[in-house]
Homo-oligomer: A and B are copies of this chain.
Amino acid sequence: MSIPSDLPARLAEALGPSAVITEGPDLEPYAVDWRKLFPGRPACVVRPSSTDQVVRIVHICREAGASIVPQGGNTGLAGGAVPDASGTQIVLSLTRMAAVRELDAVGMTIEAEAGCILKVAQDAAAAVGRLLPISLAAEGSATIGGVVAANAGGVNVLRYGMTRNLVLGLEVVLPDGTLANGLRRLRKDNAGYDWKQLFIGSEGTLGIVTAAVLRLVPRPKHSVTALLSVTDPDAALRLLALAQDDLGDQISAFELISGTSLQLVAKHAGLKAPIAEGEWFVLIEAASSLAGLREAAETMLGAAFEREIALDGVIAESGAQAAQLWALREHVTESEAREGKSVKHDVSVPLTAVPRFLAEAGKTLAAGVPGTRVNAFGHLGDGNIHYNVLVDEGHDAAIVNRIVHDAVAAHGGSISAEHGIGQYRVGELVRYRSGAEMTLARKLKRTLDPGGLLNPGKVLSP
């Protein structure tokens, strides 16, 4: 496949020379993901400053037969926003479209352009006393368009749901150059098909998200953080049920951390849990507009000890102590990296299947790939486990992936809870999703993008 050699010039003519990057060190950050796992080579990078310019780019690229890779903050973990190495794909970076267009504290909505940094949108909401409850490690670089296209998760999913649950309206440029404007600020709208759902989480393969209206929520005034040790994941589930009884939907995080994880954190980050050692730990955070949260948390902890669900535990006495407890969780990934190589998985299973999944995957791995160690941790409240396997040099990642993902499938789970498919998991998606679902997905892709203009090879094989 080839494209006209003057395509960058045509784009520069239409959008102005500063909108197009064709070579040099400025090109690099757009060509490869930030972990440098998926190096690509674009024909050029084009940076529109308006939705109208995005429409023009689509028309120009269609005419030239060049495909487009939409890109936001380029913080994805599955290579979904970088071009292939053919030199024929255009990276369309939305980062110049970064405005917060509208903010409504009473109606609790924010309208932002696709290139608006998530942190900027969070801060804008906070400035009017509201919360944009999408919180990710990459929030300082990730953009609203990317967050929507990836249906981002993060640490608030248990309480507020994935990004999809917060999207009220979308503006999307379709592969045929049509602008679909659904930038409504409505909490209820059953007038016709809710077509915007198609573009949320489809990773830029069906349309280019240029702006979004997101729902805001009230900002809680009180919060409480606790760390508890439990004998096993089953006890962690019993603790979750107890917490749901006593704290209701004010629980904002319920994180499971393995003893192995905390041993790694102690070894490499020098941080130690302020409670007795154990096999498994649970970090709970709850937040509320109501006073009485702490009392409810203390009652819950008392019941957990009395019923022998928890072995030991502590409630943070201050914001600083809460931060110390969170630091244990936040240093797991980095400490794992210092320990050595690992094969990572971002999987989910039904909550109540988590203990069986952990037991069975561990057993099969020990038998199939001797010498590996499992570093499991994650969002138990969402059934989302980061199941990372520490391996020796010269390991076979494919075998480890197969064992873990087969165990996930056996429990009705997902091989990608929040990171998406991108280019990384395209082959595995075909293995684990039914033929009927894949046929339906391909049909949708062909309908909206019959020419394969947008992000070819991502999510679905070309």
A residues with a Cβ closer than 8 A to B are: 104-109, 129, 150-151, 153, 157-158, 161-162, 164-165, 174, 178-182, 184-195, 197-198, 200-202, 206, 217-221, 237-238, 240-241, 244-250, 288-293, 295-296, 348-353, 379, 382-384, 412-421, 425, 429, 432-434, 436-441, 443-444, 447-448, 459-460
A444 to chain B minimum Cβ distance, whole angstroms, is 6
Known contacts A185-B412, A293-B290, A436-B178; A418/B350 CB under 8 A: no
Judge whether B218 and A187 touch: CB under 8 Å. no
How many identical chains are in the complex? 2
Instruction: Tell me, in angstroms, the Cα distance from A30 to B440 when the chains sit together.
Output: 31
Judge whether B249 and A191 touch: CB under 8 Å. no
Judge whether B194 and A164 touch: CB under 8 Å. yes
**Chain B residues, CB < 8 A from A245:** 129, 218, 289
Instruction: Tell me, in angstroms, the Cα distance from A131 to B419 when the chains sit together.
Output: 30
Instruction: Tell me, in angstroms, the Cα distance from A440 to B179 when the chains sit together.
Output: 11
Determine the residue in chain B with the shortest Cβ distance to A168.
B350
Judge whether B174 and A240 touch: CB under 8 Å. no
Judge whether A350 and B425 touch: CB under 8 Å. no
Judge whether A414 and B186 touch: CB under 8 Å. yes
Judge whether A192 and B348 touch: CB under 8 Å. no
Known contacts A188-B348, A188-B414, A190-B416; A107/B383 CB under 8 A: yes
Closest 9 CB pairs of A and B: A248-B289, A292-B292, A197-B197, A107-B351, A188-B417, A185-B350, A218-B248, A189-B414, A447-B447
**Chain B residues, CB < 8 A from A439:** 178
**Chain B residues, CB < 8 A from A350:** 104, 107, 109, 184-186
A424 to chain B minimum Cβ distance, whole angstroms, is 12
Judge whether B417 and A190 touch: CB under 8 Å. yes
- Enumerate 14 A-B pairs (CB-CB under 8 Å) in ascending A order: A107-B351, A129-B245, A161-B165, A164-B194, A174-B440, A179-B436, A180-B437, A187-B351, A191-B416, A192-B433, A197-B200, A218-B248, A248-B289, A292-B292
Instruction: Tell me, in angstroms, the Cα distance from A412 to B201 when the chains sit together.
Output: 25
A241 contact from B106, B187, B420, Cβ within 8 A: B106
**Chain B residues, CB < 8 A from A202:** 193
Known contacts A194-B201, A248-B288; can you find 6 more A-B pairs with CB under 8 A?
Answer: A107-B383, A157-B187, A186-B414, A187-B348, A187-B383, A218-B245
Judge whether B289 and A187 touch: CB under 8 Å. no
**Chain B residues, CB < 8 A from A249:** 217-218, 249, 289
Judge whether B351 and A192 touch: CB under 8 Å. no
**Chain B residues, CB < 8 A from A162:** 188, 190
Instruction: Tell me, in angstroms, the Cα distance from A462 to B245 when the chains sit together.
Output: 50
Judge whether A417 and B186 touch: CB under 8 Å. yes
Judge whether A191 and B429 touch: CB under 8 Å. yes
**Chain B residues, CB < 8 A from A105:** 241
**Chain B residues, CB < 8 A from A246:** 289
Determine the residue in chain B with the shortest Cβ distance to A384.
B188
A396 to chain B minimum Cβ distance, whole angstroms, is 23
Determine the residue in chain B with the shortest Cβ distance to A217.
B249
Instruction: Tell me, in angstroms, the Cα distance from A396 to B292 when the chains sit together.
Output: 56
Known contacts A197-B197, A248-B290, A447-B447; A190/B414 CB under 8 A: yes
A116 to chain B minimum Cβ distance, whole angstroms, is 20
**Chain B residues, CB < 8 A from A436:** 174, 178-181
**Chain B residues, CB < 8 A from A206:** 193
Judge whether A200 and B194 touch: CB under 8 Å. yes
**Which of A107, A153, A238 has the largest number of chain B CB atoms within 10 A?**
A107
**Chain B residues, CB < 8 A from A419:** 190
**Chain B residues, CB < 8 A from A444:** 193, 195, 198, 447
Instruction: Tell me, in angstroms, the Cα distance from A396 to B429 when the chains sit together.
Output: 56
Instruction: Tell me, in angstroms, the Cα distance from A440 to B153 when the chains sit together.
Output: 28
**Chain B residues, CB < 8 A from A150:** 190
Instruction: Tell me, in angstroms, the Cα distance from A180 to B438 when the chains sit together.
Output: 10
A192 contact from B194, B353, B459, Cβ within 8 A: B459
**Chain B residues, CB < 8 A from A382:** 187-188
**Which of A185, A188, A197, A198 has the largest number of chain B CB atoms within 10 A?**
A188
